[in-house]
Amino acid sequence: MEAFTDPGSDGAAFVSYRFDFEINGRTLKAPWHSAFGNAAVMLGLIDLADSGIETHIPTEGYLRGLLTVDATGITRIDSGQYLWFEEYPAIAEHVINGHIATLLALYHYAEHQPDTRILPYIRAGLTTMRRYLPVARHPGERNAYAASDPTLPDYGPQRTIIYARALAQICSDPEMAVIAAAFETDMPLPPP
Domain count, the chain: 1
Residue 86 structural domain: 2-138
* Strand 26-28 to 21-23 pairing: antiparallel
- Does residue 173 fall inside a structural domain? no
152, 101, 176, 92 alpha-carbon torsion, rounded to 10°: -30
- Does residue 61 fall inside a structural domain? yes
**pLDDT tens, 101-136?**
999 999 999 999 889 999 999 999 999 999 999 999
**pLDDT recorded at residue 25:** 84
pTM higher than 0.75: yes
DSSP 142: P
- Does residue 50 fall inside a structural domain? yes
- Does residue 56 fall inside a structural domain? yes
- Centroid of chain to Cα 18: 20
Cβ atoms of 21 and 70 within 8 Å: the answer is no
- Does residue 52 fall inside a structural domain? yes
Q: Helix, strand, or coil here: 122?
A: helix
**DSSP code per residue over 89-115:** TTTB-SBHHHHHHHHHHHHHHHHHS--
More confident: 89 or 1: 89
% of the chain beyond a pLDDT of 90: 69
pLDDT band, residue 191 (cuts 50/70/90): low
pLDDT band, residue 192 (cuts 50/70/90): low
- Does residue 36 fall inside a structural domain? yes
Angle formed by the axes of helices 174-186 and 119-136, to 10°?
40
**pLDDT recorded at residue 184:** 86
- Does residue 101 fall inside a structural domain? yes
**pLDDT tens, 16-41?**
999 999 987 889 999 999 999 999 99
Q: HSE-up of 100 (CA within 13 Å, CB side)?
A: 25
- Does residue 186 fall inside a structural domain? no
pLDDT band, residue 188 (cuts 50/70/90): low
Q: Is the pLDDT of residue 152 over 70?
A: yes
